[in-house]
Structure 1
Amino acid sequence: MAGLLAGKRLLITGIITEQSLAFSVARIAQEQGARLVLTGFGRMSLVERIARRLPEPAPVLELDVTDRAHLASLADRVREHADGIDGVLHAVANAPAAALGGNFLDTAWEDVSRAVHVSTYSYQALATAALPLMGAGGSIVGLTFDATRAWPVYDWMGVAKAGLESANRYLARYLGPHGIRCNLVSAGPTRTLAAKSIPGAEGFEEAWPQRAPLGWDHYDAASTARACCALLSDWFPATTGEVVHVDGGFHAVGA
């Protein structure tokens, strides 16, 4: 029986460790029949080592989403491994420590701009860089964290995610005529390396299993990954500009 992503060629960003949401997306995508090209930044030897733990080997390209030269050459570098792509996972976000942890009123613009560049603008930048590789029926999926609330200690990353959710709607508007869908998955708090870098985040994470109607497992990356793979497949052909919540229903209930 063919998998959900049989024959799909996907570009996956954001793998750092096996706990990365992007790693779970990559693993499940391969299990569902996809061929992958991965990107990493900074610790390339680590990314390459983690990539070897996937079910099938996949090439790894270096990509700094804030580097114009990296973005400009992305399509040509991907073509060395695939003649095109059918989907992109944007799993990139970063903010300096000064932009997190309750420092909101004192954060300098230099730190805020870094958070917005990496976590918000890069969504449009990556989509634009990948556009020459994609045709009608393509899908771009990004990861967010519910930006309708002001979370303790999330601070300027929360602002950046709000920008990401708005950028997703605009990207859907402008890429719709190309036949390309753009959607986000809003995951509940998951114990990834990125989550561990947010000081004090465990304070609001603790409430999740009790308040979410379906409960919540902080170590369950597969539920989020499955949603991403579904959106990367052909099973949502008329859905774009959407934010799909995978949080146990936490966003839907009051205190």
Structure 2
Amino acid sequence: MSGILDGKRLLITGVITEQSLGFGVAKYAQEQGAEVVLTGFGRLSLVERIAKKLPTPAPVIELDVTDAEHLDRLADEVRKHVDGIDGVLHSIAYAPPSALGGNFLNTPWEDVATAVQVSAFSYKSLATAALPLMGNGGSIVGLTFDASQAWPVYDWMGVAKAALESANRYLARDFGPKGIRVNLVSAGPQRTMAAKSIPGFEAFEEAWTKRAPLGWSLTDSEPVAKAVAALLSDLFPATSGEILHVDGGFHAVGVERTEK
């Protein structure tokens, strides 16, 4: 039985643990026929260990998206494993502690700059570094968290996500003539390592499980993985600059529904 990603070669970032959305995407992508290369940073041995838990153990390349040398050599490092790629997943975000948790008015610029560089500017950095591998055509997908409104405790990460969503539109504009689609998946909250580092993130979890019309699992990454896989496949040949919500419908409703 063929999969929607048969023959696709994918570069997937952001895998740290089995709970990482990147891991869920890598696993589902392999099940759908893709060949996967992972990137890791800082805890490379951990990423390599997690990579062995995929259906097919995947190679891991070191990549710090804020390091120009890492970005410059990305294409050469990837070519050690595959001769090109058809898709990229950007699953990278970070904000210093001072930029989260209700400290919005007091966060120093240096920490705001870090959040924006790692969480938003890196989308462009990764896309341009991967471009020599993609030829004419392919798909780039990033992960966001709805930046259309202000959230408790999310603070400057929310601002960084807004920048990411804007960058998505500009990348779609500039990569379109190359035949490359650029889209985001806006995922509901998951109990990932990144989420656990945000003080007060439990408020998101409680609200989502109560209000999402379709319900929402905090531990099941497969709905997000399926959406990412669809965008990385050939099923959306004329879709770019889009933000696809995979959040149980939470973004579409206002106050919590009361049953009669």
TM-score of the aligned structures, taking structure 2 as reference length: 0.97
- Provide the residue aligned with 1:249 in structure 2: 249
The unaligned stretches of length 5 or more in structure 1 are none
- Provide the residue aligned with 1:131 in structure 2: 131
- Provide the residue aligned with 1:3 in structure 2: 3
1:194 equivalent in alignment to 2:191: no
Q: CA deviation at 1:137?
A: 2.9
- Provide the residue aligned with 1:233 in structure 2: 233
- Provide the residue aligned with 1:177 in structure 2: 177
**Contact 1:124–1:171 (8 Å) recurs in 2:** yes
- Give the letter aligned to residue 105 of structure 1: L
- Provide the residue aligned with 1:100 in structure 2: 100
Runs of 4 or more off by more than 4 Å in structure 1? none
What SS does structure 2 have at the residue aligned with 1:89? strand
Number of positions where the alignment pairs a residue of Structure 1 with one of Structure 2: 255
- Provide the residue aligned with 1:61 in structure 2: 61
**Contact 2:147–2:161 (8 Å) recurs in 1:** yes
- Give the letter aligned to residue 209 of structure 1: T
Q: Distance in 2 between matches of 1:24 and 1:106?
A: 36
Q: Deviations over 1:94-142 (max 9, x none)?
A: 0000000000000000100000000000000000000000023300000
What SS does structure 1 have at the residue aligned with 2:42? coil
Q: How does 1:1-255 map to 2 (within 5 A)?
A: 1-255=1-255
**Contact 1:172–1:182 (8 Å) recurs in 2:** yes
Mean Cα displacement is larger for which, 204-213 or 123-132? Answer: 204-213
Q: How large is the RMSD of aligned CA atoms in angstroms?
A: 0.6
**Contact 2:123–2:167 (8 Å) recurs in 1:** yes
Q: Distance in 1 between matches of 2:75 and 2:168?
A: 21
Q: Distance in 1 between matches of 2:125 and 2:101?
A: 28
TM-score of the aligned structures, taking structure 1 as reference length: 0.99
What SS does structure 1 have at the residue aligned with 2:116? helix
The unaligned stretches of length 5 or more in structure 2 are 256-260
Q: Distance in 2 between matches of 1:206 and 1:69?
A: 42
What SS does structure 2 have at the residue aligned with 1:181? strand
- Give the letter aligned to residue 180 of structure 2: I
Q: Distance in 2 between matches of 1:211 and 1:176?
A: 36
Q: Distance in 2 between matches of 1:191 and 1:127?
A: 27
**Contact 1:38–1:58 (8 Å) recurs in 2:** yes
What SS does structure 2 have at the residue aligned with 1:206? helix
